[in-house]
Chain A
Amino acid sequence: MFGLMGKILRVNLTDGKIFQEEIPEEMAKKYLGGRGLASRYLFDEVKPKISPLGPENKLIFMSGLLTGTLSPSAARYSVVAKSPLTGIWAQSNSGGRWGVDLKQSGFDGIIFEGISEKPVCLVIDDGDIELRDAGDLWGKNVSETTEILKETLGDKFNIASIGMAGEKLVKYAAIMNDLHRAAGRCGLGAVMGSKRLKAVAVKGRKEIKIADKITFKEVSKKQYDLLGENILGAGLQGYGTNLVLDIVNVCGGLPTRNWQTGVCTYAEEINGEALNEKVLVEAVGCFACPIKCGRDTEIKKGPHKGLKGEGPEYETVAILGAMCDNSDMEAITMANYLCNDYGLDTISCGSTIAFTMECFEKGILTKDAAGGMEICFGDTETILALVHKIARREGVGDLLAEGTRVMAQRLGQGSERFAMNVKGLELPAYDSRAAKITGLAFATANRGGDHITGYVQGPTYLASPFLVIEESEIQDPLMENPEEAKVVKDLEDALTVFDAVGLCKFMGMTSDAQEITQIIAAVTGWDFGIEAFRKIGERIYNLERAFNNREGLTRGDDTLPKRLLEDPLPEGPAQGHVNHLDILLDPYYEFRGWDKATGKPTPEKLKELGLDDVIGQIYGGVAQ
């Protein structure tokens, strides 16, 4: 097979048995790789209603079809499982180099099953596989784990691991690779911890074969050249993802004080320019990426002076910054380093802290209940202390480790109104009251409250159309236009393909579908055009939706927190605005071919996408 290695590993952690399996080419043609293939395996092999932290859940690592081929910005891998935070389908996605190393070790993916009696680590050394005891690593954080494994195995190995947060089953624990890169969302680090799988160490130099090297080189070069002197690319390299902080803030959409307002008055203390001045060492990038939006950083002053790491990214700055009313870039950076080392999703962690701050402000969480802590907005020491407590499930950290949905259920007293999650997944830092169509994207993303599933923040906040879909312009971000629901659908489908091939979504702003399909065709040798691109994305997306429907998800779950639906923004360019999701949801379902009453893909839609086998499972009558 070209592009893919054509093999996965199946590792049963209960009995220690390991098998290699071929990936049927027909399956690869329908689902590509990465998220697509992983979702198909998950749907087929994980029964509904199983416990996400029990032995029946499967944890699936899968590299993208283009990952490692030297296609620009194609370095990514996906991790797919049932989420302990949301109870539905989950994908985490990460960059760096680990996905490339997995593939070059001989395998496109690994399916972990069961639960190990003792902590273990999987080692793949250029095709040789071993499940090793990891008792000496258990209790250690990501940096120490990585250091020990590299000393033991050799420093050519690349490590994906969990820190203490995953071991403690924090519901938003992350899987970290390349030390600082996170497969962050949805708590798949807890799934890994529940299986007592501490790390996956990979090494290899196997060739990833390309069918048509001449065309591949031609199209890739065109993309590299475009990014060479590109203003957008320069912005990302110059400021990292924190480029968008000022842009979102001037639109009145930077969630501040747990979404109580969308205007941050101290943005210049934490924007891209500030990050560069205060903590940046240099820009770094993923494998084969000409953009280099990553930040190598060092804290240069204050109590944590001298500490180094990568990040923070925009979401981390906005959430551990403005959302917690924290203007201290050094403290934000330190919190970021802690989250990376413990293995915590910074979005969910920071959002949960901000939610807790508002609960404390309103007297819903008392000092007593917080173990004597005063959890106030803007208190940087408390933010850092809470990160430690969450990761270790100590004191009030044990409650926060459950996420905002569970916290609100337990605390009650109206806190549900401002528990800023959708389907249990905490929302990222773009206020949808300032860009209405983004509210639809939050409500309908398959993994829960998420921006990167269909990044319609691009066409709204950045006014940057995505070239990979035919029409992506949003006329007025402050209007709900039913026709524009199609943009969300199209972006979701297109960016699903990006996850399936391991491509960074920034490429969608500079490359069109024609170029992406040319690269896929050149790598694989398949007859692959724009129609296939669109169909496959839609197929994968509907399969994931079907997984969720099978878990009991209905139309009622496609909603937003009451704060967004009912509380107008108090100031800024979007003053007075709320989300009117009802205007957009029906048109979205129509564009999707989903039943408006139930929120399920219709049998006709499933047949059209070649998902006939799914129909019985979500419409009853056929056991899985």
Chain B
Amino acid sequence: MNNAGSEDWEEKYAKLVTNRKASQSKPYMVLSPEWASEIEEKIQNDRRYQEVAKTWEGSVTLVFKADSASGLDGDLFVFMDLWHGQCHSVKMVPSEMGRSADYVLEASYDRWKRVLKKDLNVVREIATNKLKLVPFNFKKAAKLAAAAQAAIRLVDLAGEVSDKFPDDLEPEAFLGFKAFLQELKTDFGI
């Protein structure tokens, strides 16, 4: 089943998140639906984000590009529905939904990991084109630059939610996570 955005999909996704939150312990695995849900809550409750993002308009997808180092089989998409300092949702989504966001920010899994862990500076990644707006649109890029403080706060908050990354797992646990991702693909198109 993959009609992301349909009522049915949304309902089943929400149920998945509830079940996962009950069965998994914190901190949640990065790139899991429960991790995305935690980010949503954190942003929605953050006054600083509300202040710095009060004029922001537009959904944002973070694309974690699979590379051989990550061991992941495909790109993963984190969709954020953001508007004027509010965060309406953060979800793991299929690629079509991910790429339909107003702003699609792409970087390798490894670079996103290092940004979330604060080993890399997100603005430096932007300045050196390691983190890219895809497709590049001049006007949108300019708006992103103007929202630098909001972007920084978003990334800071996401990084605070978890430091548990799939490729840091023991081989058996990593295979287990990959199997879970395969289920997400089958059931949700993610």
| Chain A interface residues (CB < 8 Å from chain B) | 226, 229-232, 234-239, 243, 246-247, 250-251, 268, 272-273, 462-465, 467, 473, 509-510, 573
Instruction: Collect the chain B residues with CB atoms within 8 Å of residue A229's CB.
Output: 129, 132-133, 136, 141
User: Which B residue sits closest to A236, measured CB to CB?
Assistant: B145
Whether the pair B55, A234 counts as a contact (CB closer than 8 A) is no
- The yes or no answer to B95 lying at the interface (CB within 8 A) is no
- The yes or no answer to B173 lying at the interface (CB within 8 A) is no
Given contacts A229-B132, A247-B146, 17 further A-B contacts (CB under 8 A): A229-B141, A231-B126, A232-B123, A232-B145, A234-B145, A235-B144, A237-B142, A238-B138, A238-B139, A250-B149, A251-B149, A268-B55, A463-B123, A463-B148, A465-B123, A467-B128, A573-B51
Whether the pair B149, A234 counts as a contact (CB closer than 8 A) is no
Whether the pair B146, A246 counts as a contact (CB closer than 8 A) is yes
Whether the pair B51, A234 counts as a contact (CB closer than 8 A) is no
Whether the pair B124, A247 counts as a contact (CB closer than 8 A) is no
Given contact pairs A229-B132, A230-B127, A251-B149, A465 touches B142 in the complex (Cβ within 8 A): no
CA–CA, A509 to B136, complex, Å? 20
User: Which B residue sits closest to A252, measured CB to CB?
Assistant: B51
Whether the pair B51, A464 counts as a contact (CB closer than 8 A) is no
- Which of A231, A238, A464, A465 is the one whose CB lies under 8 Å from B133? A231
Instruction: Collect the chain A residues with CB atoms within 8 Å of residue B128's CB.
Output: 226, 467, 510
State the Cβ distance, B7 to closest chain A Cβ, in Å: 36
- The yes or no answer to B48 lying at the interface (CB within 8 A) is yes
- The yes or no answer to B154 lying at the interface (CB within 8 A) is no
- Total interface residues on B, CB under 8 Å, equals 27
User: Which A residue sits closest to B134, measured CB to CB?
Assistant: A229
User: Which B residue sits closest to A226, measured CB to CB?
Assistant: B129
Interface centre among B132, B133, B145 (most CB of A within 10 A): B145
CA–CA, A80 to B124, complex, Å? 33
Whether the pair A463, B142 counts as a contact (CB closer than 8 A) is no
Whether the pair B145, A238 counts as a contact (CB closer than 8 A) is yes
Instruction: Encode contact with A along B102-131: 1 for CB under 8 Å, 0 otherwise.
Output: 000000000000000000011110111101
Within 8 A of A (CB), among B69-117: none
- The yes or no answer to B152 lying at the interface (CB within 8 A) is yes
Instruction: Collect the chain A residues with CB atoms within 8 Å of residue B51's CB.
Output: 250, 573
Whether the pair A467, B145 counts as a contact (CB closer than 8 A) is no
Instruction: Collect the chain B residues with CB atoms within 8 Å of residue A251's CB.
Output: 149
Given contact pairs A247-B149, A250-B51, A464-B124, A235 touches B142 in the complex (Cβ within 8 A): yes
Query: Shortest 8 CB-CB distances between A and B: which pairs?
Result: A235-B145, A238-B142, A234-B141, A229-B136, A464-B123, A231-B141, A234-B142, A250-B52
CA–CA, A272 to B124, complex, Å? 22
State the Cβ distance, B73 to closest chain A Cβ, in Å: 28
CA–CA, A444 to B48, complex, Å? 32
- Which of A237, A238, A272, A462 is the one whose CB lies under 8 Å from B123? A462
Whether the pair A464, B127 counts as a contact (CB closer than 8 A) is yes
CA–CA, A229 to B126, complex, Å? 10
State the Cβ distance, B58 to closest chain A Cβ, in Å: 14
Whether the pair B121, A509 counts as a contact (CB closer than 8 A) is no
Given contact pairs A467-B124, A473-B121, A573-B51, A238 touches B141 in the complex (Cβ within 8 A): yes
Instruction: Collect the chain A residues with CB atoms within 8 Å of residue B121's CB.
Output: 463, 465, 473
Instruction: Collect the chain B residues with CB atoms within 8 Å of residue A272's CB.
Output: 146
- Which of A237, A250, A273 is the one whose CB lies under 8 Å from B138? A237
Within 8 A of A (CB), among B47-73: 48, 51-52, 55
CA–CA, A243 to B145, complex, Å? 8
User: Which A residue sits closest to B141, measured CB to CB?
Assistant: A234
Given contact pairs A250-B51, A467-B128, A510-B128, A231 touches B149 in the complex (Cβ within 8 A): no
A–B Cβ pairs within 8 angstroms, 27 of them? A226-B128, A229-B133, A229-B141, A230-B129, A230-B141, A231-B127, A231-B131, A231-B144, A232-B126, A234-B144, A235-B142, A235-B146, A235-B148, A237-B138, A237-B142, A238-B138, A238-B141, A463-B122, A463-B123, A463-B148, A463-B149, A464-B124, A467-B124, A467-B128, A473-B121, A509-B127, A573-B51
Given contact pairs A235-B141, A237-B138, A464-B123, A247 touches B148 in the complex (Cβ within 8 A): yes
CA–CA, A247 to B144, complex, Å? 12
Interface centre among A226, A231, A243, A250 (most CB of B within 10 A): A231
Whether the pair A234, B127 counts as a contact (CB closer than 8 A) is no
CA–CA, A232 to B121, complex, Å? 14
Whether the pair B148, A464 counts as a contact (CB closer than 8 A) is yes
- Which of B52, B124, B138, B148 is the one whose CB lies under 8 Å from A234? B138
State the Cβ distance, B119 to closest chain A Cβ, in Å: 11
CA–CA, A463 to B52, complex, Å? 13
CA–CA, A148 to B55, complex, Å? 47
State the Cβ distance, B129 to closest chain A Cβ, in Å: 6
Instruction: Collect the chain B residues with CB atoms within 8 Å of residue A473's CB.
Output: 121
User: Which A residue sits closest to B122, measured CB to CB?
Assistant: A463
State the Cβ distance, B127 to closest chain A Cβ, in Å: 5
